[in-house]
Amino acid sequence: MKITRIKIDTLKMELYKPFTVALGTIEHVETLLVKVETDEGVFGIGEGAPFEFVTGETMQTAQMVARVLGDRLIGMNPLDIESIHAVMDQTIVGNTGAKAAIDIALHDLKGKYFGVPLYQLLGGWSQSFETDITIGIDTPEQMAAEAKEKIAQGFSILKIKAGLNATEDIEVIRLIRQAVGEEVRLRMDANQGWTAAEAVRVMQAVEAYGVEAVEQPLPDWDIEGMAYVRNKVTIPVMADESVHSPVDALKVVKKHAADVINIKLMKSGGLFRAEQINAIAEAAGLHCMVGCMLESKIGITAGASLVAAKRNITEADMDSFMYVKDPGVKGGLELDNGIITLPNNPGLGIELDF
């Protein structure tokens, strides 16, 4: 079997409302679509979410890179995923959103070729799991009101965005805990927004409200600072933007800079490297979470398949498809009261006229 064409397009999605994090405000979403076609008629669909704040890509650069990579891959066997990643990495450094789109399409194709759903192809630990849902930055009162709404919708794990104002971040957690009660699980995500001193102050303060983890309190490059914060607090520290690659994961492990690693397919360049990151974390005794950018059900079903597949991935932040109006993607994962279930259809189980 040989790759005969890699088709590239975009998927435009409308947000229900602007979404604010410490890195900036997102008002619209456009993702990269990739379709890998073969001489045997089997094809796979993938999605990449270029995000300037994290991967350094724009939609324009992601499209250009995907075209260049696509030309290099014509004639290769789509099942030779390790060889394909070697070619992509030799062709251009980084550009992980574009690479993730191709990688996801290859895994979708592989699942279809062997007739198994992707979560089984990757490991098959389970078929369903619980996801959190994210509360974007707003006024403390509005964030508390939104948290209460999400619990009423059936969610029981909340991820609270923070990092713009340390004092206000503490107040947000106080109000949210007051609004949702003691049984709801809370975690925070500062998106690199605090200094080390602020991180220690906030994390020591919110411990009283049962916050179970804080994600990326410091800038991505400050691994030593993350280790310092971790030694000063009892709440687990989660590394997100600090870990794009397996090499990054090893650096975090060696510096004892995190208790948990958040894997994102758009940071790692797809499922192939994401599995390697999880393996390094598992060998070091660290659990993982899989998170997301603003992706449709295509990218989210791929990430969710990895969560379900691996025993060491114990947490999930697979919620971004809930923030956009339906772009016409059919099939894929199903969501019910915060529980995501993967389809039994081969590959991603996604239907898209593309």
Active site residues: 161, 189, 215, 240, 264
Provide the terminal-to-terminal Cα distance of the chain, rounded to the nearest Å. Answer: 21
Q: What H or E segment, with its residue span, contains residue 46? A: strand 43-48
How many alpha carbons lie under 13 Å from residue 322 in its C-beta half-sphere?
A: 19
Number of other CB atoms surrounding residue 74 within 10 Å? 11
Angle between helices 166-180 and 196-206 (to 10 degrees): 20
Structure token digits, residue 42: 């089997």
Q: Which phi and psi (to 5°) does residue 64 adopt?
A: -60, -45
CB 306 within 8 A of CB 271: yes
User: 281: Cβ–Cβ under 8 A, 6 or more apart, which residues?
Assistant: 249, 253, 261, 287, 288, 312
Which residue is associated with the tokens 């025993």?
A: 311
* C-alpha span between 7 and 150 (Å, rounded): 38
Q: Are 206 and 230 in contact (CB under 8 A)?
A: no
Backbone CA torsion sign across 284, 290, 293, 298: positive
Integer angstrom CA distances of residue 67 from 36, 110, 235, 248: 12, 21, 44, 27
